[in-house]
Amino acid sequence: MKRLFGVSALLVLPFLPPPAIGQTGTDQYHAMLSTYCFTCHNSRAKIGGLALDALDLQAAPNDAHIWEKALRKLRGHLMPPPGNPQPPQKDVDAFVAWMENTLDSHPKGPAAGYVPIQRLNRTEYAASVKALVGVDVNPKDVLPQDIQVDGFDNIAAALSVSPAFLDQYITAARHIAKLAIGDPSGHVSNVKYLISANQDSDLPLPPGTRGGVRFEHNFPADGEYRINIDDLSVGLYTSTMENESTLVILIDGKIVFRKPIGGPADLALAERKGAAGRADIMQRFSKIPVQVQAGVHDIVVTFIDRAHVESDENVGAGFGGIGVLGFGNGNGRMARLADGIEITGPFNPTGVSRTPSRALIFVCDPKKIGEPACAQQISENLARRAFRRPVTADDVAHLMPFYEAGRAGGGSFDQGIEQVVAAVLASPDFLYRAIRGPKGASPNAEFALTDLELASRLSFFLWNTGPDDELLALASSGGLTKPGAVEKQVRRMLADPKASSLVTSFAMKWLNLTTLDSVQPDPKLFPTFNEQLRRDFSREAEDFLGSILLEDRSVIELLTSERTFLNDRLARHYGVSGVIGPQFREVTLTGQERAGLLGKAAVLLRSSYGDRTSPVLRGQWVLDKLLGTPPTPPPPNTATDLSQKAGEAPKTVRARLEQHRNKASCNQCHGVIDPTGLAMENFDAIGEWRTVDRQANAPIDAKTVLPNGVAIDGPVELREQLAARPAVFAEAVTEKLMMYALNRELEYFDMPQVRAVVHGAAKDNYKFSSIVLGIVDTDAFRKQGPAAAPKEKENAVKVAAAR
């Protein structure tokens, strides 16, 4: 949100006496402004660039762009600023309600904003490729980082294109096409999977195993492949050979290799023959032949778990790591995976099976209908799904030369289709989304989206990818805009697994939880923290958000729910007992401290520094994310260092913060931000509960007085205050969700529609589906506004890039 007032120019709205006899509500509010605001905000002084004396309250909607900003300041208690006389909360609420009702009853400005042509961001690209040709792409590996606006990377104005971008898209298209078609020619290649990068897969290892890795590998053709296990800790020291282990390899859950390692014979071999003996042992696990059909397969390399009290050494070592009940790597006297797994092949290929990717592409048999006819049918099917619209003869005609180029010089039918797939993936019709409207629509006028444009907007909103066959067919026939059709599709799409993108691409980014790695906790202060725990924080947050949004619960439960999702490692971090094993499962919390978002370690880590908590960051996070009232950014060169000074006795963060903000000018902002953050001080920087500040050796004081004058103590009472105003939180969620859905920043003229969605959802207890349905029923979602003036476009792009 753009800054409206300078720090010294915040409106002051003190307590107002009841209006005099004959005095109307607008008279009362005008008297208030005249008495407390016009002194600074008048046509002569114009402090903060604002002149309120020229505004007519009777015609407030004419100045909606000013009043919407003022309302946001009021809701966030940014005015009157701390240190000035404060009106009772009921008087502030009364003014806000009156002004919102006035603006909503007589909305001004366009019904919809303008969304320019935009390219797919890298997340949308990966999801679209998966839906189109069945290939999983790690977008971080093939495309550069997209510019983010308010945390979102799908804002059209920021999705620009450079020559470097185009080169990467074309390179990615060629690579994906090759993976999708497969390689019947039998070119031998090798891929290595490092243990360190794959040992913490989200999918659990099979029961009864220990110390393994799980990953997926794309086999390009049917045939023999050879698996090399590079290091099983058979090194200079032979202690790892003292106890026998059994290594197994599973492909899609079926054991394809099983062989023992260690025990008396291997120990003697390693001790007597030295390096040659160790090489003989490892030879058993080199070039392991397996027959595999083409396609993506699940690979597990692990050890069969064994009894942990077989020898005195195991007892002395704590039962081989019994703290993790056999899910670790043993006790140092057993073999373990240490380096990587290499897969080489194919050898003696026999062709390419009908993989899921080929099933999506090869919709006809060239042997039955002829190769040219089949190539045309494949091209038409691919283009229709990729371009998100019915295709024309010209579309197919543009693709057929690529097929012919692939066949040139003796190329096979598959090689020709591979070139078609690459051409489709590199086509502007696939890479870009544009709203053109019905035939004859003027870009300088408001118009309704066509059925196909509405289908595309709906699909990218809910699925992060283009329409599926059902939605595309409905839109192509003009049936999507018929009564009830959109609601039926929304409910179907929310029930589809692809709707999980609303968690990963919307909710996690809205809450700023996709960048947990930007906080690096000091290992000396937080020795229990590690990268596995960081991943657990993120996994818990995703599962928790999914349990509310995807199960269509009230969004208010994001604040209040006592359910969460834990594994044994995160449960120990939280002090929760009874959770055993690395798998995440739903847990009902017995205490109130961890309920809702405020108790999640991901939130607490992201709103801290590496060496301490930050009431300022946490207060800003609550104001921005949960209340929708982001505080004014600090002036340039504002001091933010709260480090302990050398030679001084350690102080709590609260004490250091009090020293830092003892100036009245600082308190005008910090008086609003800090009280909320101080209520969360019982959580340290990595989200552990504490009652004592270990560095300062002082008790934690989480008592505070919120800007509305309510005294609270700790996160439980803070949560109660937030949940007591459900419409405020629901509006914050709706505003961000609408921004995500529209692919643009919201404007003042969007706010009446946001509030209408919230009012409608209130009748259904703010269920997530009610908010989604409300958004897709707005003019903002179903229409395109007039194009911005060239200067406005330029400024919008500059602002987006700066963010």
Helix, strand, or coil here: 803?
A: coil
Task: For residue 72, give both structure tokens.
Answer: 């946001």
Q: Whats the size of the chain, residue-wise?
A: 803
Per residue in 14-48, pLDDT (tens digit) is: 333 444 433 456 777 777 667 666 777 678 877 77
Side-chain-side CA neighbours of 720 within 13 Å: the count stands at 11
| Of 395, 439, 442, the residue nearest 420 (C-alpha) | 395
Write down the pLDDT at residue 672: 86
For β-strands 245-251 and 254-261, DSSP reports them as antiparallel
Write down the pLDDT at residue 80: 73
346 preceded by a cis bond (ω within 30 of 0)? yes
Write down the pLDDT at residue 420: 98
Is 80:7 a contact under the CB 8 Å cutoff?
A: no
| Of 352, 305, 373, 13, the residue nearest 184 (C-alpha) | 352
- Distance, in Å, from the CA atom of 662 to the CA atom of 670, rounded to the nearest integer, reads 10
- Distance, in Å, from the CA atom of 615 to the CA atom of 642, rounded to the nearest integer, reads 11
Is 39:29 a contact under the CB 8 Å cutoff?
A: no
Average pLDDT over residues 719-746: 97
**Is the pLDDT confidence value at 759 over 70?**
yes
In the chain the first and final C-alpha atoms are separated, in Å, by 11
Is 466:456 a contact under the CB 8 Å cutoff?
A: yes
Residue 384 identity: R
Please report which helix (H) or strand (E) contains residue 384, including its range: helix 371-387
**Is the pLDDT confidence value at 468 over 90?**
yes
Average pLDDT over residues 547-553: 98
- Per the DSSP assignment, residues forming a β-bridge with 565 are 586
Write down the pLDDT at residue 581: 87
Average pLDDT over residues 159-183: 88
Q: What is the DSSP string of 164-229?
A: HHHHHHHHHHHHHHHHHH--TT---EEEEEEHHHHTT-SSPPPTTEEEEEEEEEEE-SEEEEEEEE
- Helices 469-476, 371-387: axis angle to 10 degrees equals 80
Lowest mean pLDDT among 97-111, 495-509, 741-755: 97-111
Write down the pLDDT at residue 322: 35
- Distance, in Å, from the CA atom of 799 to the CA atom of 803, rounded to the nearest integer, reads 6
- Distance, in Å, from the CA atom of 104 to the CA atom of 92, rounded to the nearest integer, reads 18
Between these two residues, 58 and 479, which has the higher pLDDT value?
Answer: 479
| Of 229, 218, 241, 226, the residue nearest 302 (C-alpha) | 229
- Distance, in Å, from the CA atom of 693 to the CA atom of 700, rounded to the nearest integer, reads 6
Question: Which ranges of 312-355 would DSSP assign to H, the alpha helix?
Answer: 312-316, 318-321
With cut-offs at 50, 70 and 90, classify the pLDDT of residue 78. Answer: confident
Question: Which ranges of 585-725 would DSSP assign to H, the alpha helix?
Answer: 601-606, 615-621, 653-660, 664-678, 715-723
Per residue in 620-651, pLDDT (tens digit) is: 999 999 999 998 877 766 666 677 777 777 88
**Is the pLDDT confidence value at 240 over 80?**
yes
- Helices 451-463, 485-494: axis angle to 10 degrees equals 20
**Is the pLDDT confidence value at 430 over 60?**
yes
**Is the pLDDT confidence value at 555 over 80?**
yes
Is 29:91 a contact under the CB 8 Å cutoff?
A: no
**Is the pLDDT confidence value at 184 over 90?**
no
With cut-offs at 50, 70 and 90, classify the pLDDT of residue 309. Answer: low
**Is the pLDDT confidence value at 9 over 50?**
no
Please report which helix (H) or strand (E) contains residue 773, including its range: helix 768-776
Lowest mean pLDDT among 314-328, 354-368, 568-582, 637-651: 314-328
Is 77:708 a contact under the CB 8 Å cutoff?
A: yes
| Of 71, 67, 82, the residue nearest 7 (C-alpha) | 82
- Distance, in Å, from the CA atom of 495 to the CA atom of 550, rounded to the nearest integer, reads 8
- Distance, in Å, from the CA atom of 85 to the CA atom of 260, rounded to the nearest integer, reads 79
pLDDT > 90 in the chain, percent: 65
Largest Cα–Cα separation, the chain: 107
Q: What is the DSSP string of 277-311?
A: HHHHHHHTTSSEEEEE-SEEEEEEEEEE---S-SS
**Is the pLDDT confidence value at 797 over 80?**
no
* Per-residue exposure over 269-282, b if at least 16 CB sit within 10 Å of its own CB, e if not: bbeeeeeebbeebb
- Distance, in Å, from the CA atom of 460 to the CA atom of 125, rounded to the nearest integer, reads 11
Residue 19 identity: P
Average pLDDT over residues 658-671: 71
Residues 6+ apart with CB under 8 A from 104: 752, 755, 756
Residue 336 DSSP one-character state: -
Average pLDDT over residues 790-798: 48
Write down the pLDDT at residue 514: 95
| Of 508, 544, 454, the residue nearest 741 (C-alpha) | 454
Write down the pLDDT at residue 799: 46
| Of 650, 678, 652, 674, the residue nearest 661 (C-alpha) | 674
Q: Is the pTM of this model over 0.85?
A: yes
**Is the pLDDT confidence value at 236 over 90?**
no
- Distance, in Å, from the CA atom of 737 to the CA atom of 70, rounded to the nearest integer, reads 22
Is 258:276 a contact under the CB 8 Å cutoff?
A: no
Is 558:597 a contact under the CB 8 Å cutoff?
A: yes
- Per the DSSP assignment, residues forming a β-bridge with 476 are none
Side-chain-side CA neighbours of 478 within 13 Å: the count stands at 1
Please report which helix (H) or strand (E) contains residue 67, including its range: helix 64-75
Angle at 70 between CA 65 and CA 74, to 5 degrees: 150
Phi, psi (deg, nearest 5) at residue 315: -65, -45
- Distance, in Å, from the CA atom of 747 to the CA atom of 733, rounded to the nearest integer, reads 16
Task: For residue 363, give both structure tokens.
Answer: 């919709």
Average pLDDT over residues 689-702: 93
Between these two residues, 481 and 84, which has the higher pLDDT value?
Answer: 481
Write down the pLDDT at residue 259: 95
- Per the DSSP assignment, residues forming a β-bridge with 704 are 712
Helices (H) and strands (E) in the chain, counts: 35, 18
Write down the pLDDT at residue 22: 38
Write down the pLDDT at residue 6: 36
Write down the pLDDT at residue 333: 75
Residue 436 identity: R
Please report which helix (H) or strand (E) contains residue 578, including its range: none
Looking at 356-507, which runs of residues are DSSP E strands?
A: 432-433, 447-448
The neighbour count for residue 182, using CB atoms within 10 Å, is: 23
Write down the pLDDT at residue 18: 42
Average pLDDT over residues 571-577: 96
Residue 317 identity: A
C-alpha 416, offset from chain centre: 38
Write down the pLDDT at residue 11: 38
Report CA-CA distances (Å) from 488 to 131, 164, 470, 492, 766.
21, 41, 12, 6, 19
What's the chain's average pLDDT? 87
Write down the pLDDT at residue 195: 85
Report CA-CA distances (Å) from 84 to 11, 15, 44, 431, 661.
10, 11, 23, 54, 16
Q: Give residue for tokens 């679209």.
A: 128
- Per the DSSP assignment, residues forming a β-bridge with 227 are 288, 343
